[in-house]
């Protein structure tokens, strides 16, 4: 057998290595149009930021090491410019020699990846404006910063890469501004979780401009002038464009292979394209979202690597293993914080017309009585019908990575909020609490499903009329330090005695700092014949963060 | 309704609070024979070690706070000395006033906990010999250390509490010895994972005596002489007895309630005892192990807290929620290391006569190219029939708590090693690798199940005859720095060229540092007609740790 693989990073490299382990005697050729193979994409921002100090740490494998260890013929700087599925050949172009040649294959694997979006803005090709996708981009950015002694950076697009670049350039001592068209950073997340991170970014001293669009770039002496739609301008020594990527299907469209609904390479559940001898993996493919069944792309290293393994199994052993899709579990370091997501955001489920409930709770990274515990917020999204967990997001400091992985595992297994409650975590004071925040999120969701807890959200205050009661059940000290406008204060521990102060016929909206005391208040009131009592999900804390962030970004637009 | 709860820590306190949330108007009385309620048991060793500095941090709730917030009548220093299930009454004894009185109940909840084992050794009641179970024990130990200016500690029993005490006393500056009857520390774990921790404990400078039994204690001027079975003696200023606990069922046995197979209070799946008006939770109960269906006890805070919630639901709402048992997920900080377990150990599955396969792999806490990655070892135990994950153990540094929680979630959901492979983790370089160690453990297990990987273990070297080939496929440098006796060296990258040096008719045992290169060697050899090739699970590293630990503890016995 002769296997050809196009693209030698994540998915392609994984496929190649697995093919060899399954089939020692076949011929395997892997083409890579770039200079480097199987490098650490996800490490690139950290190498620019000098967190990763040695460049060769990024280069996990080389063409030589693939040859030595796996007997794989890796051809770098060689672009496949044509595929002929009928003849089962590809045409390769060696960019160094200019030599063009044809290779035949028995099975072909496509792993072309994704390409960064570059909108057709005036001046976008000026010096100093970069996208970051591979080692060469990284080298160019690093060299440019050094030579230019860059002091001011503008990041366009506040996705994962944009935020990682913002942090790394900031840590190099630069003045950093982030420009984002949307009304929040991190588009895959729901607003409240993004707002928590936004507050942290501003606190760190990075300028964050939301609802802001770039219209053009101009040369300005030795620097770049970034023009915004609202007329403002920003000066930059370096600009990083990180507005997103799209599947790189340029090669595929010409070869007659099927392209799917969301412009990725169409593959079946065995990762086989519309041609049975051609498989595809990685950022360029699309597949069914396991939650909605709608087509989706994913641009994550984890799924690409797993696809590589499955693809090789299917090629050698004959379509033995189905790919079950990805739930887009992702995580990003944002300065001192960690922000993570798995499954679907509420806003996307809403678009898919799936009924769901959102609940947010705060929790500690570990037992509060053991030193060093840090707070996180867990938002879960679940089905009101059967409690199935559809999505989860976590924003906080240490321990966020652990919680999102547990939640991801449960979403992936089509588990419910009852599984969150029953989840048996490993507890010792340095690592968790007797009831882990994951358990707590399940307990709260159960209470909601069983109508023991009725909630409202930070963005629903406009529903509260002057005739309703907004009841703050925190302590007097907490209340006096800052409360929601128009709230009255009865501390939870006094509520049983002072309940008569509340009119039985009025709608009551309770809240506390985090949600627990408000829930207790609701239990007391509802069992004392108060019919309409709702408790604020996420408590005062989340309300304050979201409301302030909303005001800040609206002010910026109005300025 | 009138609810009485006996025991006001973990399970009892959780039940009481949940009862109130479900039922605002009932009467709830909670009896506690000790002085404190709902305190942080698991924090006690860390308060002794001054890691937790304020005593009041241990006291999560007080009788007063239970009254204020939950309207629960908590009676401390009051022991329930009799239960009359027929009359539905209990008899209480107030240890302060000496007053004895009867209370009736509609529903009774038992949460008496476990009591530390104290073997009937000569001198065991001498001053300076302590067990650690509650806040009073903690105060006594702390006071004793201070007054005595204790310098030498002997810990008897190397379980979770023993090791936590060893670390905390060591960090106070004491000379610490641990005496353990078994041939390893941490009895719930399999030998290799325990051996890794043992090596670390010795490296830290703690004396660890395995296979060692205490026969008596003697007064020796101002200190304690600990006599061992082999004739040795140890001097100690303080002795901590941590050889285990047993369910405290003294009260229950007299009341005619059913005691189960492993001497815990028998409960049905609704946590109801043999009397339908009496429920029980926490360390004192027994229930069916979800993996073996055999009766088991568990002495962990997590299950106790979850049981409390379920118990209250069942009491108020009428047996609506089944308790699904616990898989004994547990974790312990051992100096700089973290050791964790979930599900069953291989040795216990062997006893239960369940067929299983063990596989151990090393992995990094996060991507090796990002600074600060630390190594861990993951051992999984799974069914050869359907791949069901039966148990997992992790020994390492940071990130161990995350991996055991993921593994616990999968074991609890009766998942398989295929779920480990497909598990979609949150990957960014500071938190994981593109393939998480959990994924890797699944990949390896799949390879074993599909006969692509055949393994042998560190304790099976006696099976290798002089006629077999022990093949080290690491680099020459690694080989020369230390190898397994009688091994020959062909580095993996030379194996294809030098294969002819190996006799086709011989049994070949391959190994490398960690397991991956040995697996590749096996793939190459088996596809070149070498019929009998086995690879060492866990690699040279695990072999070295286990072998050295075994020698060290045997030497100690022979001395």
Report residue B261 as tokens. Answer: 């197979």
For residue A404, what are the CA distances in angstroms to A357, A364, A391, B406, B425? 19, 14, 10, 10, 8
B559: Cβ–Cβ under 8 A, 6 or more apart, which residues? B230
Q: What distance in Å separates the CA atoms of residue A74 and residue A88, rounded to the nearest whole number? A: 19
Q: A residues 135-164 near B, CB within 8 Å? A: 160, 164
* Helix B191-204 × helix B160-171 angle, to 10°: 10
Which chain A residue's Cα is nearest to B323?
Answer: A422
B300: Cβ–Cβ under 8 A, 6 or more apart, which residues? A427, B326, B328, B329, B330
Q: Which of B58, B405, B528 sits opposite A369 (nearest CB)?
A: B58
List the end-to-end C-alpha distance of chain B, in Å, as a whole number: 65
Mutate to test the interface with B, among A387, A426, A473 (most CBs of B within 10 A): A426
Q: What distance in Å separates the CA atoms of residue B79 and residue B96, rounded to the nearest whole number? A: 11
The catalytic residue among A42, A311, A512, A546 is A42
Chain-chain contact of B24 with A528 (C-beta, under 8 angstroms)? yes
Q: What is the DSSP string of A363-418?
A: EESS-TTSTT--EEEEEEEE-TTT-BEEEEEEEESTTHHHHHHHHHHHHHTT-BHH
Q: Which helix (H) or strand (E) holds A136?
A: helix A135-148
DSSP-derived letter for residue B25 is T
The per-type count for chain B, helices as H runs and strands as E runs, is: 16, 31
Contact A226, A217 (CB under 8 A): yes
**Confidence (pTM):** 0.97
B-chain CB neighbours of A423 within 8 Å are: 408-409, 412
Contact B208, B201 (CB under 8 A): yes
Give the 3-state secondary structure of residue A137: helix
Q: Which of A46, A300, A429 sits opposite B42 (nearest CB)?
A: A429
Q: What is the 3-state secondary structure (H, E, C) of A202-262?
A: HHHCCEEECCCCEEEEEEECCEEEEEECCCCEEEECEEEECCCEEECCHHHHHCCCCECCC
Report residue B520 as tokens. Answer: 């590749």
B-chain CB neighbours of A324 within 8 Å are: 422
Q: What distance in Å separates the CA atoms of residue B103 and residue B91, rounded to the nearest whole number? A: 6
Q: What distance in Å separates the CA atoms of residue B312 and residue B303, rounded to the nearest whole number? A: 14
Burial B496-506 (b: 16+ CB within 10 A, else e): eeeeeebeeee
B-chain CB neighbours of A340 within 8 Å are: 426
Which chain B residue's Cα is nearest to A439?
Answer: B306
What is the pLDDT, as a whole number, of residue A559? 47
Q: What distance in Å separates the CA atoms of residue B520 and residue B349, rounded to the nearest whole number? A: 30
Nearest in space to A447 (alpha carbons), one of A400, A380, A363: A380
What count of Cα atoms within 13 Å lies in the side-chain half-sphere of residue A160? 26
Report residue A521 as tokens. Answer: 């208040």
- Residue B406 in contact with partner chain A when CB distance is under 8 A: yes
Q: What distance in Å separates the CA atoms of residue A114 and residue A10, rounded to the nearest whole number? A: 12
Q: What distance in Å separates the CA atoms of residue A347 and residue A313, rounded to the nearest whole number? A: 37
Contact B280, B110 (CB under 8 A): yes
Q: What distance in Å separates the CA atoms of residue A271 and residue B408, rounded to the nearest whole number? A: 30
Q: What distance in Å separates the CA atoms of residue A265 and residue B191, rounded to the nearest whole number? A: 49
Q: What distance in Å separates the CA atoms of residue A386 and residue A449, rounded to the nearest whole number? A: 9
Mutate to test the interface with B, among A409, A494, A528 (most CBs of B within 10 A): A409
Q: Which of B410, B434, B523 sits opposite A409 (nearest CB)?
A: B410
Mutate to test the interface with A, among B68, B401, B424 (most CBs of A within 10 A): B424
B424: Cβ–Cβ under 8 A, 6 or more apart, which residues? A302, A303, A306, A326, A327, A329, A342, A408, A412
Which chain A residue's Cα is nearest to B327?
Answer: A424
CB pairs < 8 Å spanning A and B: 221
For residue A312, what are the CA distances in angstroms to A27, A279, A281, A315? 14, 9, 10, 5
For residue B526, what are the CA distances in angstroms to A69, B301, B519, B520, B535? 16, 49, 10, 10, 12
- Residue B551 in contact with partner chain A when CB distance is under 8 A: no
A140: Cβ–Cβ under 8 A, 6 or more apart, which residues? A130
Q: Which residues of chain B have pLDDT under 70?
A: 555-559
| B311 in active site | no
Q: B residues 157-196 near A, CB within 8 Å? A: 160, 164
Mutate to test the interface with A, among B429, B492, B516 (most CBs of A within 10 A): B429
B-chain CB neighbours of A434 within 8 Å are: 10, 42, 301-302, 304-305
Chain-chain contact of A434 with B42 (C-beta, under 8 angstroms)? yes
Nearest in space to B176 (alpha carbons), one of B145, B155, B162, B161: B155
Helices (H), B49-153: 63-70, 135-148
Which chain B residue's Cα is nearest to A420?
Answer: B409
Q: What distance in Å separates the CA atoms of residue B268 and residue B349, rounded to the nearest whole number? A: 24
Rg (CA), chain B: 27
Rg (CA), chain A: 27
Q: What distance in Å separates the CA atoms of residue B395 and residue B161, rounded to the nearest whole number? A: 17
Chain-chain contact of A527 with B24 (C-beta, under 8 angstroms)? yes
Report residue A340 as tokens. Answer: 């993570």
Q: What is the DSSP string of A70-135?
A: H--EEETTEEEEEEETTTTEEEEEETTT--EEEEE-SEEEE---EEE-----BTTTSTTEE---SH
Q: Tell me how long chain B is.
A: 559
B-chain CB neighbours of A425 within 8 Å are: 302, 329, 405, 408
Report residue B446 as tokens. Answer: 């799949």
Q: What distance in Å separates the CA atoms of residue B486 and residue B12, rounded to the nearest whole number? A: 59
Q: What distance in Å separates the CA atoms of residue A450 and residue B460, rounded to the nearest whole number? A: 55
From the CA of B332, how many Å to the nearest CA of chain A? 6
Give, for all 559 residues of chain A, the pLDDT tens digit: 999 999 999 899 999 999 999 999 999 999 999 999 999 999 999 999 999 999 999 998 999 999 999 999 999 999 999 999 999 999 999 999 999 999 999 999 999 999 999 999 999 999 999 999 999 999 999 999 999 999 999 999 999 999 999 999 999 999 999 999 999 999 999 999 999 999 999 999 999 999 999 999 999 888 999 999 999 999 999 999 999 999 999 999 889 999 999 999 999 999 999 999 999 999 999 999 999 999 999 999 999 999 999 999 999 999 999 999 999 999 999 999 999 999 999 999 999 999 999 999 999 999 999 999 999 999 999 999 999 999 999 999 999 999 999 999 999 999 999 999 999 999 999 999 999 999 999 999 999 999 999 999 999 999 999 999 999 999 999 999 999 999 999 999 999 999 999 999 999 999 999 999 999 999 999 999 999 999 999 999 999 999 999 999 876 655 4
Give the 3-state secondary structure of residue A61: coil
Q: A residues 440-499 near B, CB within 8 Å? A: 443, 452, 492-493, 496
- Residue B318 in contact with partner chain A when CB distance is under 8 A: no
The catalytic residue among B42, B311, B512, B546 is B42
- Residue A62 in contact with partner chain B when CB distance is under 8 A: no
Question: What is the set of domains in chain A, with CATH numbers?
Answer: 2-113+246-317 (3.50.50.60), 129-243 (3.50.50.60), 336-449 (3.50.50.60), 457-537 (3.40.250.10)
List the end-to-end C-alpha distance of chain A, in Å, as a whole number: 65
Q: What distance in Å separates the CA atoms of residue B260 and residue B427, rounded to the nearest whole number? A: 46
Give the 3-state secondary structure of residue B313: helix
* Strands of the sheet with A508-511, listed across from one edge: A455-456, A533-536, A508-511, A469-472, A488-489
Q: What distance in Å separates the CA atoms of residue B290 and residue B311, rounded to the nearest whole number? A: 19
B-chain CB neighbours of A402 within 8 Å are: 401-402, 405
ipTM: 0.96
């Amino acid at each position: 057998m002769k296997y050809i693989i196009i693209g030698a990073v994540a998915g392609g490299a994984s496929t190649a290595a697995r093919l060899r382990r399954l089939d020692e005697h076949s011929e395997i050729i892997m083409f890579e149009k770039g200079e480097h193979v199987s490098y650490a994409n996800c490490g690139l921002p950290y190498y620019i930021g000098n967190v990763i100090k040695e460049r060769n740490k990024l280069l996990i494998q080389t063409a030589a090491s693939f040859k030595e260890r796996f007997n794989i013929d890796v051809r770098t700087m060689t672009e496949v410019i044509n595929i002929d599925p009928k003849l089962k050949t590809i045409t390769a172009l060696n960019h160094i020699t200019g030599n063009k040649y044809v290779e035949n294959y028995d099975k072909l694997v496509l792993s072309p990846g994704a390409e960064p979006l570059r909108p057709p803005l005036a001046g976008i090709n000026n010096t100093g404006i970069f996208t970051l996708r591979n080692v060469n981009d990284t080298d160019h950015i690093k060299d440019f910063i050094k030579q230019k002694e860059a002091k001011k950076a503008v990041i366009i697009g506040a996705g994962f890469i944009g935020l990682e670049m913002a942090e790394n350039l900031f840590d190099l001592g630069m003045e950093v501004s982030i420009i984002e068209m949307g009304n929040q950073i991190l588009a895959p997340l729901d607003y409240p979780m993004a707002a928590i991170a936004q507050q942290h970014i501003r606190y760190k001293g990075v300028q964050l401009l939301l609802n802001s669009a770039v219209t053009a770039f101009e040369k300005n002496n030795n620097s770049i002038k970034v023009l915004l739609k609202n007329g403002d301008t920003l000066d930059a020594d370096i600009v990083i464009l990180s507005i997103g990527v799209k599947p790189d299907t340029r090669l595929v469209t010409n070869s007659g292979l099927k392209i799917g609904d969301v412009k990725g390479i169409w593959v079946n559940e065995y990762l086989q394209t519309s041609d049975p001898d051609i498989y595809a993996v990685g950022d360029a493919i699309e597949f069914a979202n396991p939650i909605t069944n709608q087509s989706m792309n994913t641009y994550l290293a984890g799924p690409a690597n797993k696809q590589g393994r499955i693809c090789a199994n299917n090629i050698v052993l004959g379509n033995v293993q189905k790919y079950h899709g990805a739930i887009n579990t992702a995580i990003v370091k944002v300065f001192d914080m960690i922000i993570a997501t798995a499954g679907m955001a509420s806003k996307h489920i809403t678009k898919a017309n799936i009924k769901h409930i959102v609940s947010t709770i705060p929790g500690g990274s570990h037992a509060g009585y053991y030193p060093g515990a840090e707070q996180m917020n867990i938002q879960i999204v679940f089905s009101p019908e059967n409690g199935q967990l559809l999505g989860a997001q976590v924003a906080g400091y240490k321990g966020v990575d652990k919680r999102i992985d547990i939640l991801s595992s449960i979403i992936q297994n089509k588990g419910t909020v009852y599984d969150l409650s029953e989840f048996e975590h490993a507890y010792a004071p340095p690592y968790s609490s007797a009831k882990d925040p994951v358990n707590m999120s399940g307990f709260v969701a159960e209470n909601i499903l069983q109508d023991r807890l009725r909630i409202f959200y930070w963005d629903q205050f406009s529903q509260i009329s002057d005739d309703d009661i907004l009841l703050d059940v925190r302590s007097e000290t907490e209340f006096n330090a800052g409360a929601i406008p128009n709230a009255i204060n009865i501390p939870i521990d006094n509520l049983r005695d002072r309940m008569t102060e509340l009119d039985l016929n009025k709608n009551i909206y309770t809240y506390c700092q985090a949600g627990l005391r408000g829930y207790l208040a609701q239990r007391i009131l509802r069992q004392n014949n108060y019919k309409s009592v709702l408790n604020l999900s996420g408590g005062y804390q989340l309300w304050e963060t979201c409301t302030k962030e909303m005001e800040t970004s609206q002010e910026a637009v109005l300025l």
